[in-house]
Amino acid sequence: MTRAVKGTHDLFGEALAYHRTIVDAARRWAEAAGAAEIATPIFELTEVFERGVGPTSDIVQKEMFTFSDRAGRSLTLRPEGTAGVVRAYNEHGMKVWPQPVRLWYAGPMFRAERPQKGRQRQFHQVGYEVLGSGRPEIDAEAVALSYRILASLGLRGMRLLLGSVGDPADRERYNAYLRELLTPHAARLSPDSRRRLEANPMRILDSKDPGDRSLLAELEPRPMLAFLGPEAAEHFEAVRVRLDALGVPYQVDPSIVRGLDYYVRTSWEIHHDKLGAQSALGGGGRYDGLSELLGGTAAPGVGWALGVERVALAMEAEGLSPSAARALDLYVVPLESELVPRALEVAARFWPDLHVEYALKARKPGKGLQEAEKRGARFAGLLGPDEAAAGTLTVKDLETGEQRTLPLEEVREWIGKGGRA
């Protein structure tokens, strides 16, 4: 039997219901804030990610699914959404639209990581990007949305870690400091970190290697936040003031390191306490230089993405069910086999307001009620020859036991009111 490729999953049933609930919540919030949906291609020229996500990132160095097309061009399945959105912003001249431009997206992303709980090779993100403004209100807006979407799903066990990676010049100073601090101990660093010492020492701080971790614990490097220049520091303070005004609870993480190279200034991650090693539900940050890296004109930007599968895992861990797995409102039971087509007609009348299904075989009333209960229906509708002739349905409220024979229009009303008169 052939199977789905390792690290990929079929989405159906409950998993898909979680997925839809999460994407629907993100859509509602993003559109309320003025975002329009965008769907960029699932693959791009490899250079979009090489330049955008950055040559020193783990993603570009070892996690991309890259292939050549028949003309020998190098293409890559998108590992994330931001680079493609910024490419599209430039390509379609969105710079002349009223600024800032707010865009949101949902779709599959691909990273060749070692699969484990909460980490797939094909996973899904919902994301939000605002282009064309460097104002701290926009950072605060983006952070607040990413947090509130999660809160609106009922999640409680979240930690929002907020930091700043400064402006490029600040980062250069910080990297120079780290290089000086770590070079004398280079022999103790893992091979990956030794490579990073040249290109991007900041990434060493994010290393999971136990040797690297113990060296860092000994050396106690000063955090990035201590190296912010006056402008980045002022911006960070302004973002904090605005988040406080919005009542968004966050913790300052002075040494936040994000896995993508395009970030400047505000950076954040939202973690969940029940997810184990892969605890980040989402993350984001400002990326003011990205547009130029992709050959466009300057366009400041800030955004975030949530990992849909991880949010679903967190919801499950907190016992939150997907509202999209909407309970069965009514299960229609034909009492004679000739009435099966009529049962379809009755069910179809209520779509899409109510979730209604029907039995494909005649059932005795008792058996039909049992079957409705087993399917988790709130109401069962018994359809015998009398009901069919009169245009009625005998509806039983499976919660209270109350039973009524009602014309179909009134069935809708009774069920809609949850069985109240």
Q: Which residues bind ligand HAM (CB under 6 A)?
A: 80-82, 111, 113, 118-120, 123, 125, 127, 129, 259-260, 280-285, 287, 303-305, 307, 309-310
Q: What residue number has its CB nearest to ligand HAM? A: 307
Distance CA(240)–CA(163), nearest Å, equals 10
| Shortest distance, position 44 Cβ to ligand HAM, whole Å | 13
DSSP string, 87-115: HHHHHTTGGGSSSSEEEEEEEEEE--PPP
3 state SS of 122: strand
Shortest CB 233 distance to ligand HAM, Å: 21
Q: Closer CB to ligand HAM, residue 306 or residue 343?
A: 306
283 or 368: whose CB is closer to ligand HAM? 283
Helices (H), 200-304: 210-219, 230-246, 290-293
3-state secondary structure of 272: strand
Token output for 415 = 């069920």
CB of 290 to ligand HAM, least distance (A): 9
Cα–Cα dist 123/116, whole Å: 12
CB of 6 to ligand HAM, least distance (A): 12
Answer whether 164's CB lies under 8 Å from 225's CB. yes
What is the nearest approach in angstroms of ligand HAM to the Cβ of residue 105?
10
Residue 52 or 368 having the CB closest to ligand HAM: 52
Report the run of H or E that residue 77 belongs to, with start and end.
strand 74-77
Count of CB atoms within 10 A of residue 383's CB?
A: 27
Give min distance, CB of 309 to ligand HAM, in A: 5
